[in-house]
Every structure is written in C-alpha cells, then in structure tokens.
Amino acid sequence: MAALTDNTVRTTSRRIIGDEMIVFILMTAVLAIVPMTGIYPYFVMQGLCFALLACAFNLLLGYGGLLSFGHAMFLGTAGYVCAHALKVWGFPPELGIVAGVVAAALLSIVTGVVAIRRQGIYFAMITLALAQLLYFIYLQTPFTHGEDGIQGVPQGKMFGVLDLSHPDTLYYVVLGGFLFGFLAIYRAINSPFGEVLKAIRENEQRAISLGYKTDQYKLLAYILSGTLAGLAGSLKVLVAQNASLTDVHWTMSGEIVLMTLVGGLGTVFGPVAGAFAIIAMQQYLAGFGQWVTVIQGVIFVVCVLTFRRGVVGEIAHYFKRSL
Amino acid sequence: MTNEFILETHGLTKEFAGFVAVRDVGLRVRRGSIHALIGPNGAGKTTCFNLLTKFLKPSAGKIFYNGRDITARAPADVARLGLVRSFQISAVFPHLTALENVRVALQRQHGHSFDFWRSKSVLDRFNGRALELLDEVGLSEFAKTPAVEMPYGRKRALEIATTLALDPEMMLLDEPMAGMGHEDIDRIAALIKRISAKYTILMVEHNLNVVASLSDIITVLTRGHVLAEGNYADLTKDERVREAYLGAGHG
Ligand SMILES: Nc1ncnc2c1ncn2[C@@H]1O[C@H](COP(=O)(O)OP(=O)(O)OP(=O)(O)O)[C@@H](O)[C@H]1O
Ligand SMILES: [Mg+2]
C-alpha cells in the first residue's frame, strides 16, 4: 500500500489548517447553493451519501491503515434497519436514522472484535467473509424482502416539522447529515486519538514498544468508521426511499475502495471528490450498460498507474499542501 | 526495589522451526549499568531483545524484571513497566514531525489517547516537555521537521528522545550507532553516557570502540548462547572470544 504513506500531513503549521478551512468553506458553499442551480438534486444527494461513506472508509484505511473489504455491510445494514423502522414501525425520520446508525455501530463492534487482530490481507479477507455472510442472511430473512428489497419507504416529517417529501428540505437535511459526519471524521483525524492512529499506521511495532495496545485503537477506528458508514446508509434510505441487496453486495464494498483511491487515500477531501467522480461516471456512462464496469476498471487501472495519490492527493502534492 | 539486578533471565531459549536462535541464556543486568551485548552477525542479539520485550514468545525460560516474572506479559505491558526498547532498523513515525514523534510518547502516559472528539490542540500542553527532550538530544532545530526528512543519525537521536519521553527505568538499544558517521557516533555515545546516569542501559553494538568506552560489562553471544562475560580488558584476553568474535571479521 505505497499510496498510504504518500498522502500524509507534512507539517502542522497554521497555513495548512488554513488551506483545509478554505476548501471546506468552498465545498460547503457550493453544496449549499445546489438547489438554486437546477442541478438534479437527487444526483447530488446520492453523491453526498457515497461521499460520507467513502470518508468513513478513508478514516479506517487512510489513517488507520486497515483495508476493510466489507464496508458495504454497514451501509446495507443501516439501510435495512432504517427502512424497516420507518415503514413498519412508523418511526419519525430522525429516529429511523438513529436506528440505522445504532445497528451499524453494533455490527461494527461484533465484526471488529472478530477481525481486528488480523493483519493486512487477512483483515481484508475476514471483513469480506463477514460481509458475505451477512449478505446471505439478508437474502433469506423475511424483513428485508429478499430480491425485492424494502420499497416505498415513507420519508415523513423530521422533528415533526421538516417535510422530507419536499425535495429542497430533504436536500438540506441530507447535506446537514453529510456535514455532521464529515466534520466528525475530520475531528477524529485531528484528535489525540487520531495522532495515535497515525503513529500506529506509520510504525505499529514502535507504537507497541511505546506501550500502546494498538488493537484497541484500531478497533475504535473500525467502530467509528462503521458507525459513520451507517449514517450514510440511513441517509441513503431517505433519499432513495428503498433499501435493497445492492447496498450489501461485495461490489458495493469494491466501489467504496475505488471512490477513496480515485479521490485520494489519506486526504481530507479526496473521498468526497472520488465519490462524486464515480457516481457521475456511472450516470453519464449508464447508456453503455454492462460496459460501465469495464470502463470503471480501466479508469481504476489508469488511476493506480499514473496518479497513485488520487486526484486530490496529486493536487495537494503538486502545491505541497495538505488537503 | 533494592534488587541488585534489574533484569534477569533464566534458561532463555528461542527456537524457530527447529533452528535454535537463542539457547539457554542467563543474563543479569545490574541496575544503573551500561551493559553491552555483542557477538557476530546472527548470534541472536536482536532475538534476545525481542524476547526480553515480549515481541517474541520464548520457547523456554523465564524473564524477571525488577524481581517480577514478566515472561507471560504482552509487549505493551512490558513497556508500561518501564522496560523500553529501540529497534535495529530506525523506528520513527516518518510523517510526524520530530516534536509530534516525542509527543506521541508523552501522550500515552498522560491519558486522552482515546479521545476522538477533542481537538489535538489539547496535546499542545506537552510541547514544552517535548522541546526539552529534543533539546536534550540536540534536535531543537528539527522540532518542526517531519522525521522522514531528517538525516539518519538524527533519526536515531529522535528515537532516543522518544524513548526518554516515557521516562523508562531501563532502555534496550539495538545498534544505536549502526550506519552512522564519526560525528554522529560521538554525539550519540556522549548522549548515552549522559542518560546512563538515570537509566539502566542494555545495548547491542558492533562498534567495539564504542563498546569499550561506554560499557561497564559485556556479554558475548555466539550462535545463540553466552560465550563469555566480563569487562572489555578481560574479554580481549579471552582466547575463545578472540576466536569467535574477532575471527568472524570484526574489530
Ligand atoms: N523470525 C525468525 N524466524 C526464523 N529465524 C529467525 C527469525 N528471527 C531471527 N532468526 C534467525 O535467528 C538468528 C539470530 O538472528 P538475530 O537477528 O537475533 O541476530 P543478531 O545477533 O541480531 O544479528 P545482527 O548482528 O546481524 O543484527 C539468525 O540466524 C536469524 O536468521
Ligand atoms: Mg540484530
């Protein structure tokens, strides 16, 4: 994982914090005016959900050095639980979101305890295996409605006042959820915990020799990542009004990896750029049918060969900044 | 603790798939001394360090630290007891600055390390102590330099500063001067001499001049077992040591 060490914060001077602040304000401003621009808001909302998902994944791989190949399980599980809570239990949207997030958090605790002691490729394999196990469970259990998925999920009124069937309201609620998750991840990266996590990624043996029980830190990173991926899953249900097997399928886990790598592993904004790039591509190339996968594969290969740091990673490297 | 020996091993043995890398080693390190562990390449010195710090599980034998049996402890626990090691291959956190490298060690003892909701600016209160430690090893000017950009000799000094940050009782240094130029060697030797006033040091080193001038006692290891032990003057007269060690092309 050579790219891992390339996109790391070079210094902690004020200038760099300033750079990130400026980009964050720009990003928020652009996202805030989307409903006034005539851009199809459904596309952007979908992008925001995937962006949050990729950011959560990046916390684990880019900063914790752990490659999970089963992250779709958090997206899908939160989605099913949120959809079920909204449709069957008649939860208001805010509680539906919380239900999905809690489910993802519990799942991350259970799977994390099983997986965290494995290193490198074994960690990737065990997370993939756990996600596949869950996929088959969701295929069989009645509450997920198998191949059909949970359809026609009511959006309802958030806090009793915000009518989410109104596109603009829904948009700003999703944007709010994304920004919350994004800032939570940013804070975690720049917290005392984040410092230890980076140290473990850089040299785990040395961290152990300093007295750190590294498994515990990796587990916490995994749980935070899974929980925030769950938030993305809940928000996605409100946007799409359904929850289906595609969100727990291993190809989704692969796409999460792809988005993060294309955007820039271990960069703050890379996963956001990567997520939008990939779903825009899927949108525009939809006409090519099955070929989308092939084209995606080619882009991925080109990406890995020519700009290993990802789009944002290369830009940051060129300007010697940290983004 | 009034034990004369801070670290003792009995019958320490490590076997790798039939190959015995460390055989029945009984090591006793006197509190407050600089103890050198020498021997030709592949003698088992690093393996010994790995056993002492629990990075490897011994196949047989016991390890006592401050009179306490630590044979079954986890490596992070051993570090917490005050027995801290460095590595043969430079072990810094490359993309953290020198200051941040030291701070990671300071942070461990003073808590907050699981706080993911706080800003890392709470760590600024360790900056003063971290700068003191960097100053102690002559690295003040590198405080804001990422470790990866520091010259090799300075990285080793940074490792020592990071280890000192834990305020250990005993330090294990694995070839602290390997690959260094004269200037760096002198600086690190002076540093080790200076810190030995406060800490017990067990050191692996190939540079015999350094070993001669620094160590109080030397243990010679060959093919996994202890060949001889004594001070430098005695050992240079020992025929077996000359044969095994000097004969292997060193010195
Ligand atoms: N994990 C391992 N698996 C198998 N053999 C090992 C392992 N670690 C070390 N060895 C073997 O044990 C022997 C002792 O190695 P060790 O690294 O302890 O030597 P050393 O005295 O530190 O040598 P050097 O001076 O070259 O650093 C060597 O023959 C080495 O190949
Ligand atoms: Mg060695």
Taking a C-beta distance cutoff of 8 angstroms, is the pair A85, A100 a contact?
yes
Q: Which of B77, B88, B95, B162 to mutate to test the interface with A (most CBs of A within 10 A)?
A: B95
Q: Give pLDDT < 70 ranges for chain A.
A: 1-17
**pLDDT, tens digit, for every residue of B45-101?**
999 999 999 999 999 999 999 999 999 999 999 999 999 998 888 789 999 999 999
DSSP A70: -
pLDDT of residue B250: 47
Contacting B with CB below 8 Å, chain A residues are: 5, 8-13, 187-188, 190-196, 198-199, 202-203, 205-214, 216-217, 220, 224
Could you report the per-residue pLDDT of B7-26, keeping only the tens digit for each? 999 999 999 998 999 999 99
Distances (CA, A) of B199 to A250, B5, B163, B192, B225: 54, 13, 11, 10, 26
Which residues of chain A have a CB within 8 Å of the CB of B116? 187-188, 191, 193-194, 220, 224
pLDDT, mean over chain B = 90
Q: What is the pLDDT of residue B240?
A: 85
Q: Mutating which of B73, B93, B172 best tests the A interface, going by the most A Cβ atoms within 10 A?
A: B93
**H or E segment to which residue A284 belongs:** helix A270-284
For A196, the closest of B80, B94, B104 (CB atoms) is B104
Q: SS3 letters for chain B?
A: CCCCEEEEEEEEEEEECCEEEEEEECCEEECCCEEEEECCCCCCHHHHHHHHCCCCCCCEEEEEECCEECCCCCHHHHHHCCEEECCCCCCCCCCCEHHHHHHHHHHHHCCCCCCCCCCHHHHHHHHHHHHHHHHHCCCHHHCCCEHHHCCHHHHHHHHHHHHHHCCCCEEEEECCCCCCCHHHHHHHHHHHHHHCCCCEEEEECCCHHHHHHHCCEEEEEECCEEEEEECHHHHHHCHHHHHHCHHHCCC
Tell whether the torsion through CA atoms of A108, A113, A117 and A118 is positive or negative. Answer: negative
Token pair, residue B226, equals: 């202890």
- The predicted pLDDT at position B1 comes to 47
Sheet of B225-230: strand order equals: B83-85, B170-174, B200-204, B34-38, B217-222, B225-230
Domain boundaries, chain B: 5-247
**B5-247 fold:** Rossmann fold (3.40.50)
Q: Which two tokens stand for residue B180?
A: 């260094």
CB pairs under 8 A between A and B: 114
Of A191, A214, A216, the CB nearest to B120: A191
Pocket lined around ligand 1, Cβ cut-off 6 Å: B 16, 21, 39, 41-47, 88
The interaxial angle of helices A214-240 and A72-87, nearest 10 deg, is 50
The sign of the torsion formed by the CA atoms of A135, A140, A142, A147 equals positive
CB contact under 8 A, B113 and A202: no
Residue A64 makes CB contacts below 8 A (sequence gap 6+) with A197, A200, A201, A217, A218, A221, A222, A225
Nearest CA in chain A to B101: A199
Comparing C-alpha atoms, which of A212, A302, A224, A251 is closest to residue B105?
Answer: A212
Dihedral through CA A160, CA A161, CA A165, CA A169, nearest 10? -140
pLDDT tens-place string over residues B153-200: 889 889 999 999 999 999 999 998 887 888 888 888 998 999 899 999
List domains and CATH numbers for chain A.
13-318 (1.10.3470)
Q: Which residue minimizes the CA distance to atom 3 of ligand 1? A: B16
Question: Above 50 in pLDDT, residue B249?
Answer: no
Q: What span, in angstroms and rounded, lies between the C-alpha atoms of A200 and A66?
A: 11
The minimum CA-CA distance between B116 and chain A, rounded to whole Å, is: 5
Atom 16, ligand 1: residue with shortest CA distance: B44
- What pLDDT does residue B37 have? 95
DSSP string, A229-240: HHHHHHHHHHHH
Task: Looking at the CA of B43, name the nearest ligand.
Answer: 1
Handedness of CA B77, B78, B83, B85 (dihedral sign): negative
Nearest CA to ligand 1 atom 25: B41
Report the pLDDT value the prediction gives residue A283, as an integer from 0 to 100: 83
Distance between CA atoms of residues A12 and A106, nearest Å = 35
For residue A10, the model assigns a pLDDT of 44
Entry field: residues in chain B = 251
Q: What are the C-alpha distances in Å from A104 to residues A82, A226, A233, B250? A: 10, 6, 9, 60
- B94–A contact, CB cutoff 8 A: yes
From B13, B45, B47, mutation site for ligand 1 pocket: most ligand atoms within 8 A of C-beta: B47
- Chain B residues with CB inside 8 Å of A206's CB? 87, 91-93
CA of B231 to the centre of ligand 1 (A): 25
* Count of CB atoms situated within 10 Å of the CB of A292: 16
